[in-house]
Structure 1
């Protein structure tokens, strides 16, 4: 994988964690965690230097893909300040998630990283366990494992999960389709904690993505994520340990949540 892709994934992984179940168009996942109109913004910084901004938005209205109602989720990221001069990033990721089954039906990405450009659309056929990717005018069909996700949709399913049923230290392995490949992503639930943000203190769940050895990251568990310990389960803080230092992500603003976060 290209270095630029690893750096992009580092940002995405700090924001999005993934889970899965058997696909069934008739199933209904109880969802009290998110809905249309939600918007969350983050600031990514390297020490005291602002490095990037990220935004996660759910469309104000329901979209339709293959006659199924879907949440349209947009994720955008951009470098700022000095980082924008060194490595300019303007990325947009989009997932259309079945409102009942909480599984992706379509995924899109528009990548601008310095001179690198890539636009891709992926259609998911869960009945046949296929991902159909179109880049420019070339379409390829990939066989994928059952319960495949894109890197956005699984996080939204995760938000519906009951962490009372998950043991501290438990590792979840997730098959995910990205850039023409299937990755077995592994995540560890590291228990509960309390953190301080610009809005005050609040209770959180600690989640650590586990990644293969890589020369860009430092330590055995270089990525850490703190998610609100409530029905929302939105990321409030993240940290990525790099060989050359660490990147941190903090909550900048939010609105449209299903339930107000309890600060103290």
Structure 2
């Protein structure tokens, strides 16, 4: 009997350790997958200002012993804007396929004379983040299920907005530029917007901006219109600046879970 109790104790300890090592959450995802390709065009008034391409690699990558989507976001200025403010930015996130959490995050920013290149590694078991080029002293403590800028957006795409009340704020912890903060997005219900491809049913979202921001007019100066379907991809984004406004329109897409339904 004593040996039996000791055996049960050992199994309990081992199983507890096993659970701790495999404590990743599981997030159902029917909204995106490998091979998704989306292109956007940004207008400032009547001028073409920039272009952005969002790509989910057709193949999966293993990072930190976890299968991951590799998502690239490339942004660049065009036309007259490129002569005044030259931007060539790349962000890359390796997103855990089952937990929808980042394992690595890469940035390469080229904005006029400004340059920044950095690789960030996430350790979700220890709740830490570290830049690969730095020393061990530069390890940051982060909350559970912390995101980078890209993975936070992809996590929002997995949310069932039919179960959320209009006006409700969704908060997602995120880490960027050595800082932990809460990405806050307010759900504003559903609507129909007109695009160059036609009208489409959308979900309305407002990223909640901190007060006193030098660029934006008010707390909810950014309005994101997301397709009200399985994909939940932005089809239009409107931004109110202190001087003028910007609009980002969907230009082209392929590899979505289902075709977008314009009418």
Could you tell me the TM-score, scaled by structure 2's length?
Answer: 0.88
Where in structure 1 are there 5+ consecutive unaligned residues? Answer: 1-22
Write the distance in 2 (CA, Å) between the matches of 1:62 and 1:185.
Answer: 27
- The alpha carbon displacement at 1:240 in A equals 1.0
**Map of 2:43 onto structure 1:** 45
Matched residue of 2:149: which SS? coil
Write the distance in 2 (CA, Å) between the matches of 1:63 and 1:190.
Answer: 36
Checking the alignment, whether the CA contact within 8 Å between 1:24 and 1:101 is kept in structure 2 is no
**Map of 1:237 onto structure 2:** 236
User: Which range is displaced more, 252-261 or 183-192?
Assistant: 183-192
- The alpha carbon displacement at 1:220 in A equals 3.3
Write the distance in 2 (CA, Å) between the matches of 1:141 and 1:220.
Answer: 32
Post-superposition Cα deviations, 1:74-108, rounded to whole Å, max 9, x if no partner, equal 00100001111111000000000111111111100
**Map of 1:98 onto structure 2:** 96
Aligned residues: 241
Write the distance in 1 (CA, Å) between the matches of 2:24 and 2:89.
Answer: 34
**Map of 2:245 onto structure 1:** 246
- The alpha carbon displacement at 1:28 in A equals 3.1
Where in structure 2 are there 5+ consecutive unaligned residues? Answer: 1-20
Write the distance in 2 (CA, Å) between the matches of 1:247 and 1:181.
Answer: 27
Matched residue of 2:58: which SS? coil
Write the distance in 1 (CA, Å) between the matches of 2:31 and 2:169.
Answer: 23
Query: 1 or 2 for the larger relative contact order (CA 8 Å, sep ≥6)?
Result: 1
Write the distance in 1 (CA, Å) between the matches of 2:35 and 2:50.
Answer: 23
**Map of 2:4 onto structure 1:** none
Q: 2:145 aligns with which of 141, 144, 147?
A: 147
Checking the alignment, whether the CA contact within 8 Å between 1:133 and 1:180 is kept in structure 2 is no
Write the distance in 2 (CA, Å) between the matches of 1:175 and 1:24.
Answer: 21
Checking the alignment, whether the CA contact within 8 Å between 1:222 and 1:240 is kept in structure 2 is yes
**Map of 1:77 onto structure 2:** 75
Checking the alignment, whether the CA contact within 8 Å between 1:123 and 1:132 is kept in structure 2 is yes
Map 1:109-258 onto structure 2 (within 5 A). Answer: 109-135=107-133, 140-212=138-210, 213-258=212-257
- The alpha carbon displacement at 1:27 in A equals 4.0
- The alpha carbon displacement at 1:233 in A equals 0.3
Structure 1 residues 210, 26: closer, same or farther in 2, change over 3 A? closer
User: Which range is displaced more, 176-185 or 89-98?
Assistant: 176-185
**Greater CA radius of gyration, 1 or 2?**
2
Matched residue of 2:132: which SS? strand
- The alpha carbon displacement at 1:199 in A equals 1.3
Write the distance in 2 (CA, Å) between the matches of 1:164 and 1:51.
Answer: 35
- Tell me how large the CA RMSD over aligned residues is: 1.5
Post-superposition Cα deviations, 1:96-153, rounded to whole Å, max 9, x if no partner, equal 0111111111100111001111111111011111011134x55621011222100000
Structure 1 residues 36, 244: closer, same or farther in 2, change over 3 A? same
Could you tell me the TM-score, scaled by structure 1's length?
Answer: 0.88
